[in-house]
Structure 1
Amino acid sequence: MVPEYFIFLRFYSYISSQFLLLPLSKRICSQMKATFECQNNSLLASWTLSHSHENVFTPWSDETYDAYRDWYGIICDNGWVNRVNITKSNVNGTLYDFPFSSLPFLEYVDLKIGKLVNLVEAYLGTNHRLYYTEIGNLVNAKLFYAFSNELSGPIPAEIGKMKSLENLSFQTNNLSGPIPKTIGELTELKLLHLYTNQLSGPIPSELGNLKNLSDLQLSSNQLPGPIPASFGNLKNLQVLYLRENKLFGSLPKELAYLDNLVVMEMDENQFSGHLPEHLCQGGKLESFKVNSNKLTGPIPRSFSKCSSLKRVRFDNNNFTGNLSEAFGIYPELQFINLSDNDFHGELSSNWGKCKNLTNLQVARNNISGSIPPEIGKVNRLE
Structure 2
Amino acid sequence: MAHENDITYYRCLIILFTVTFASTEKATALLKWKATFQNKNNSLLASWTLSTDACRGWYGVICFNGRTNRLKITDAGVIGTLHDFTFSFLLFLEYVDLSMNQLSGIIPPTIGNLTNLVYLDMSINKISGKIPPQIGSLSKVETLVIFDNHVNGFIPVEIGKMKSLEVLDLQRNNLSGPIPINLGDLTELESLHLYSNQLSGPIPSELANLKNLFDLELCDNQLGRSIPITLGDLTQLKILYLYSNQLSGPISSELANLENLNDLHLFYNQLSGSIPASFGNLRNLHSLHLGDNKLSGSIPITIGDLTELKSVQFYLNQLSGPIPSELGNLKKLTYLDLSDNQLSGPIPISFGNLRNMRSLYLGTNKLSGSIPKEVAYMDNLVVLSISYNEFSGHLPERLCKGGKLENFKSFT
Q: TM-score range by the shorter chain?
A: 0.7 to 0.9
**CA shift digits 1:58-110 (9 cap, x unpaired):** xxxxx9xx665454432211011111122353112332444444323322223
SS in 1 for 2:304: helix
Q: 1:54 maps to what in 2?
A: none
From 104, 122, 125, the equivalent of 2:91 is 104
Residue 242 of structure 1 aligns with which residue?
242
Counterpart in the other structure of 1:152: 152
- Structure-2 separation of matches of 1:128 and 1:154: 7
Letter in 1 for 2:80: G
1:128-139 equivalence runs, <5 A = 131-132=133-134, 135-139=135-139
Distance 1:121 1:257, change over 3 A: farther
Indicate the residue corresponding to 1:273 in structure 2: 273
Report how many residues are paired. Answer: 347
Q: What are the equivalent positions in structure 2 for 1:272-351 lying under 5 Å apart?
A: 272-325=272-325, 327-351=327-351
**Corresponding position of 2:72:** 85
- For 1:87, the aligned partner's letter is T
Q: Which amino acid aligns with 2:65?
A: N
1:116 aligns with 2:103: yes
Say whether the 8 Å CA contact 1:223–1:245 is kept in structure 2.
Answer: yes
SS in 2 for 1:144: strand
Provide the residue aligned with 1:36 in structure 2: 37
**Alignment partner, residue 263 of structure 1:** 263
Cα distance change of structure 1 residues 190 and 150 upon mapping to structure 2, 3 Å threshold: same
Whole-Å separation in 2 of the counterparts to 1:86 and 1:217: 28
- Show structure 2 runs of 5+ residues with no match: 1-17, 113-126, 383-412
Change beyond 3 A, Cα 1:242–1:28: same
When the two chains are superposed, the root-mean-square deviation of aligned CA atoms in Å is 2.7
Q: In the alignment, is the contact (CA less than 8 A) between 1:351 and 1:374 conserved in 2?
A: yes
SS at match of 2:98: strand
Distance across 1 between alignment mates of 2:223 and 2:131? 30
* Equivalent position amino acid for 1:86 in 2: I
Question: Which of the numbers 41, 60, 85 marks the counterpart of 1:73?
Answer: 60
Distance 1:67 1:359 in 2: 57
Give the corresponding residue for 1:212.
Answer: 212
Distance 1:280 1:36, change over 3 A: farther
Give the conservation status (yes or no) of the 8 Å contact 1:304–1:327: yes
- From 95, 108, 119, the equivalent of 2:82 is 95
Q: Is the 8 A contact 2:357 2:380 kept in 1?
A: yes
In the aligned structure 2, how far is the partner of 1:33 from the partner of 1:358?
A: 53
Distance 1:380 1:291 in 2: 24
Conservation of the 8 A alpha-carbon contact between 2:298 and 2:319: yes
C-alpha spacing 1:199/1:118, structure 2 compared with 1 (3 Å): farther
Name whichever of 162-171 and 299-308 sits farther off: 299-308
**Greater C-alpha Rg:** 2
Aligned with 1:327: secondary structure? helix
Pair 326,101 (structure 1): closer, same or farther in 2 beyond 3 Å: farther
**Structure 2 vs 1, CA of residues 42 and 315 (structure 1 numbering), >3 Å: closer, same or farther?**
closer
Q: 1:283·1:308 contact (CA, 8 Å) conserved in 2?
A: yes
The AA in structure 1 aligned to 2:287 is S
C-alpha distance in 1, partners of 2:151/2:81? 10
The aligned amino acid for 2:79 is N
SS of alignment partner, residue 71 of structure 2: strand
Distance 1:350 1:105, change over 3 A: same
* Distance of 2:172 and 2:163 partners within structure 1: 24
1:231–1:259 CA distance, 2 compared to 1 (3 A): same
How far apart in 2 are the matches of 1:278 and 1:219? 24
| Contact 1:278/1:301, CA 8 A, preserved across alignment | no
1:357 counterpart residue number: 357
In structure 2, distance between residues paired with 1:25 and 1:293: 56
1:154 and 1:93, CA in 2 relative to 1: closer, same or farther beyond 3 A? farther
**Structure 1 unaligned spans of 5+:** 1-18, 51-62
- In 1, the alpha carbon distance for the partners of 2:193 and 2:154 equals 15
Deviation at 1:143, TM superposition (A): 1.3
- Corresponding letter in the other structure for 2:322: N
Distance in 2 between residues matched to 1:257 and 1:377, nearest whole Å: 36
**C-alpha contact (below 8 Å) 2:130/2:154 kept by paired residues:** no
Q: Distance in 1 between matches of 2:175 and 2:108?
A: 10
Q: Go from structure 1 to structure 2 and tell me whether the alpha carbon gap of 1:182 and 1:101 turns closer, same or farther (over 3 Å shift).
A: farther
